[in-house]
Amino acid sequence: MNKAELFQQIRKKESFLCVGLDTDIQKIPRNLLDTSDAIFAFNKEIIDATHDLAVAYKPNLAFYESMGVNGWNSLEKTVNYIRYKYPEIFIIADAKRGDIGNTSALYARAFFDTMDFDAVTVAPYMGEDSVKPFFTYVGKWVILLALTSNKGADDFQYVEEGGEKLFEKVIKKSQEWSNEDNMMYVVGATRAEMLSDIRKIAPNHFLLVPGVGAQGGSLAEVARYGMNSECGLLVNSSRQIIYASTGDDFAKKAREAALEVQKEMAELLKKYLK
Amino acid sequence: MNKAELFQQIRKKESFLCVGLDTDIQKIPRNLLDTSDAIFAFNKEIIDATHDLAVAYKPNLAFYESMGVNGWNSLEKTVNYIRYKYPEIFIIADAKRGDIGNTSALYARAFFDTMDFDAVTVAPYMGEDSVKPFFTYVGKWVILLALTSNKGADDFQYVEEGGEKLFEKVIKKSQEWSNEDNMMYVVGATRAEMLSDIRKIAPNHFLLVPGVGAQGGSLAEVARYGMNSECGLLVNSSRQIIYASTGDDFAKKAREAALEVQKEMAELLKKYLK
């Protein structure tokens, strides 16, 4: 999916919502545990209930890997299901991978070829050759970690050399490797006001913003500081939506939670997009 | 496995060799492709041929993930095989993971509980809470990326604040989170002389050194600058050993290549350990 197509979906659905499929076997309704693949069964119902309100889904790989081969199988089925049933949806592998060049090429194959994700999150620590192999797939995206939303972000991401913080250097340096047509950045919403600084060095890139909702970021602030003329935002919500209810009505309640976010997003798009 | 046990294995085998199981379906002998699980069949023969010469094996996850569910299955079988047949071997998941705290806890479960690895490589970009969950497993290890051996290492790892480079800050800061009893560092061998600087800030930690062999680092230099009184080194070799021959004699040739390295290591241990 290219940038214009993504923006078209955002306008059509009046939404820039990404639903995080952080599916935890210990948190899904008990009655699903009788099915042969409870994780996939849960994801399928969540997807069917929210597909018209979200432009993206983002499974976090850790949730699937923690279940070994079975989890990896549930993940593949989930991606295939979205791709087949709702081909207009943007699918993000939240994998935070990154290795030497030859090895990153294999991660790219895993997520873009063996599985049909549209994007993968990548950690920048190992630099250019760890990121570039992902760009060889046409229509696929890298979402590079810049400023994350966790407490540990303070440890290294603010290291400053010559007036430039590490996360700023990541954003600037990576623009020598590719551009806004196949690269986005992860920017944590716990620091919404910093989005305006980031927009100075990445005015046209999409930003993937985690941490709205359960982690307490404000959607209105994110839109105020981060939205550009093509929206330029994907805002993720996981727990607030997929665990809106722990009972058998989980899909219905997930839809209600997603609808609430989508309505606010529709207002924000009206306000900031001419 | 604790540090004393690892050192005991090093003394017993007169080796600090880690064999990288970077098994690529396109590089293994054709006749293995007829077996139901060619990757595992290859790994099994390599392991049987080298287990007495190596103290550690290190599958890189990308090679397995690129093959999807089947690859993940081959990986689990490989780990189980080593654990059952050669329980004294240290097994490293070269996964370079790292995510927010709750999510890193699931990666820890994946590698230390669902699978029985001894250690996992972790990327430091997201800081303390992305690393700490791995320490909750007794006898298990984090191997934190500090200075990597690829070209892209130059992009961010040398960013300098107050006279301290980022990779040095990673080493110092992480010592507030844990110690040499369950944490090692990845230090690339293409910069062997830098090992003596690293030894000033991490005198007692084990260092995992990739890039000796095919990537051109010198084992003698690594030992000279990096060895401490408990050896403190695991030196990895992948392609040079596992692809020593592309024919049906691959296991025999892998043993010969490993034996050559082990002999040099025995000499170096004699030279530097009193």
Question: Which residues are paired to A228 by β-bridges?
Answer: A231
Residue A52: CB atoms within 10 A of its CB come to: 15
Q: Is residue B13 flagged as an active site residue? A: no
Nearest CA in chain A to B71: A69
State the pLDDT confidence band at A86, using cuts at 50, 70 and 90.
very high
CA distance A39 to A22: 10
Q: What is the mean pLDDT of residues A24-47?
A: 95
Q: How far is CA A220 from CA A189, A263, B170, B191, in A?
A: 11, 12, 35, 48
> Which amino acid appears at position B202 of this protein?
A
pLDDT at B189: 72
Q: What are the φ and ψ backbone dihedral angles of B223, each rounded to 5 degrees?
A: -65, -40
Start-to-end CA span in chain B (Å)? 24
Which of A23, A69, A164 should we substitute to test contact with B (largest number of B Cβ atoms within 10 Å)? A69
CA distance B91 to B110: 14
Domain boundaries, chain A: 3-272
| Of A185-199, B94-108, B208-222, B254-268, the least confident | B208-222
Determine the CATH number of domain B3-272: 3.20.20.70
Chain mean pLDDT for chain B? 95
More confident residue, A218 or A159: A159
Asked if residue A214 has pLDDT above 60, the reply is no
One DSSP character per residue, B13-76 reads HT--EEEEE---TTTS-GGGGGSTTHHHHHHHHHHHHHTTT-SEEEEBHHHHHTTHHHHHHHHH
Taking the CA of residue A187 and the nearest CA in chain B, the distance in Å comes to 12
Q: How many CB pairs under 8 A join A and B?
A: 179
Q: What is the mean pLDDT of residues B191-220?
A: 85
- Asked whether the beta carbons of residue A110 and residue B72 sit closer than 8 angstroms, the reply is no
pLDDT at B193: 78
Least Cα distance to A92 among A137, A142, A48, A128 occurs for A142
Contact criterion met (CB below 8 Å) for B78 and B91: no
Q: What is the mean pLDDT of residues A62-73?
A: 96
pLDDT at A180: 98
DSSP 8-class letter at A268:
H
Q: What is the mean pLDDT of residues A63-72?
A: 96
pLDDT digits (tens, 9 = 90+) for B35-79: 999 999 999 999 999 999 999 999 999 999 999 999 999 999 999
Beta strands in A22-111 (DSSP E): 56-59, 90-97
State the pLDDT confidence band at A75, using cuts at 50, 70 and 90.
very high
Contact criterion met (CB below 8 Å) for B204 and B228: yes
Nearest CA in chain A to B115: A68
State the pLDDT confidence band at B190, using cuts at 50, 70 and 90.
confident
Residues of chain A with pLDDT > 90: what percent?
A: 93
pLDDT at A213: 63
How long a stretch of residues is chain A?
274
Q: What is the mean pLDDT of residues A45-58?
A: 98
State the pLDDT confidence band at A188, using cuts at 50, 70 and 90.
confident
How long a stretch of residues is chain B?
274
Q: What is the mean pLDDT of residues B178-198?
A: 90
pLDDT at A189: 73
**ipTM of the complex as predicted:** 0.96
Q: What is the mean pLDDT of residues B165-194?
A: 93
Query: Quick check: helix, strand or coil at residue A166?
Result: helix
Q: What is the mean pLDDT of residues B251-263?
A: 97
pLDDT at A129: 97
State the pLDDT confidence band at A20, using cuts at 50, 70 and 90.
very high
Residue A63: CB atoms within 10 A of its CB come to: 26
- Asked whether the beta carbons of residue B123 and residue A123 sit closer than 8 angstroms, the reply is yes
pLDDT digits (tens, 9 = 90+) for A153-185: 999 999 999 999 999 999 999 999 999 999 999
Q: What is the mean pLDDT of residues A236-246?
A: 95
Q: What are the φ and ψ backbone dihedral angles of B20, each rounded to 5 degrees?
A: -80, 115
User: Helix/strand/coil (H, E, C) string of B210-257?
Assistant: CCECCCCECHHHHHHHHCECCECEEEEECHHHHCCCCCCCHHHHHHHH
Half-sphere CA count of A177, side-chain side, radius 13 A = 26
Residue A217: CB atoms within 10 A of its CB come to: 21
Least Cα distance to B17 among B194, B196, B266 occurs for B266
Q: Residue B152: which of A65, A128, A160 has the nearest Cβ?
A: A128
Burial pattern A160-194, b for ≥16 Cβ within 10 A else e, equals eeeeebbbbbbbebbeebbebebbbbbbbbbbbeb
State the pLDDT confidence band at B213, using cuts at 50, 70 and 90.
low
Q: Which two tokens stand for residue A85?
A: 């049933």
Least Cα distance to B91 among B175, B8, B6 occurs for B6
The residue annotated as part of the active site, out of B96, B132, B165, B252, is B96
Nearest CA in chain B to A210: B100
- Asked whether the beta carbons of residue A166 and residue B159 sit closer than 8 angstroms, the reply is yes
DSSP 8-class letter at A40:
H
Contact criterion met (CB below 8 Å) for A42 and A36: no
CA distance A195 to A202: 10
Which of B65, B75, B80, B177 should we substitute to test contact with A (largest number of A Cβ atoms within 10 Å)? B65
Asked if residue A216 has pLDDT above 60, the reply is no
